[in-house]
Amino acid sequence: MRIGAVLMASGAGRRFGSNKLLHPVEGVPMIRRALAAVPAELFRRVCVVSCYPEILAQGEACGCRGIFNPHAEQGQSASIRLGLSALLEMDGVLFAVCDQPWLRRSSVERLAADFAAHPGCICALSWQGVRGSPVVFPRDLFPALLSLAGDRGGSAVIRANGERLRLVEASEAQELRDVDERD
């Protein structure tokens, strides 16, 4: 089973006031925490999609392929299209945002294992039955992901294929919490 991963790291951080992925959480920059939770050795290939050279350099230092995003203003759809285009030979691709600093590698491992056991499903990390991120999509849904436009993520594809959704519980609620503001 060939599973790839895309770390989406192109956000402007408007509410945060700066590139939040370089900001430390508990002493470790958010991008480093994301790279530890979704490490290159767990997947056939991991791509970091960003408009920030320093984020791409950190991803490449951890064994990921850096993909420059010249269309970051288009929102998540641009990161999805760029990352997925580099992984079209995979059986499934995990998409993760990088502003969930408490995401654990063990939960990502369980999510990838669940997808490997159910390769026709969309597998998403959840807490108490509420879907969160990351999400693994099977290959037959790649065309739908590639057709996304604007600041739309994979939620539209999940809604259109809700019967295929499998939830994998995170270890704790905080794993799904994203950081949008300094507070």
Question: Per DSSP, what are the bridge partners of residue 136?
Answer: 94, 123
8-65 residue pLDDT tens: 998 654 555 557 788 888 999 999 999 999 999 999 999 999 999 999 999 999 999 9
Residue 28: phi and psi, rounded to 5, are -125, 130
| Residue that the structure tokens 């590698």 belong to | 105
Q: At what angle do helices 105-117 and 30-37 cross, to 10 degrees?
A: 40
If one compares 150 and 30, the residue with the highest pLDDT of the two is: 30
Containing 136, the helix (H) or strand (E) segment is strand 130-138
If one compares 118 and 99, the residue with the highest pLDDT of the two is: 118
Question: Per DSSP, what are the bridge partners of residue 96?
Answer: 7
Distant-in-sequence, close-in-space partners of 26: CB < 8 Å, separation ≥ 6: 101
> What integer pLDDT is reported at residue 14 of this predicted model?
53
Domain ranges of the chain: 3-176
Q: Which fold has domain 3-176?
A: Spore Coat Polysaccharide Biosynthesis Protein SpsA; Chain A (3.90.550)
Q: What is the pTM of this model?
A: 0.93
C-alpha span between 58 and 53 (Å, rounded): 9
Q: Where on the phi/psi map is residue 17: left (φ > 0), alpha (ψ -120 to 50), or beta?
A: left
**115 closest CA partner among 95, 88, 144, 99:** 95
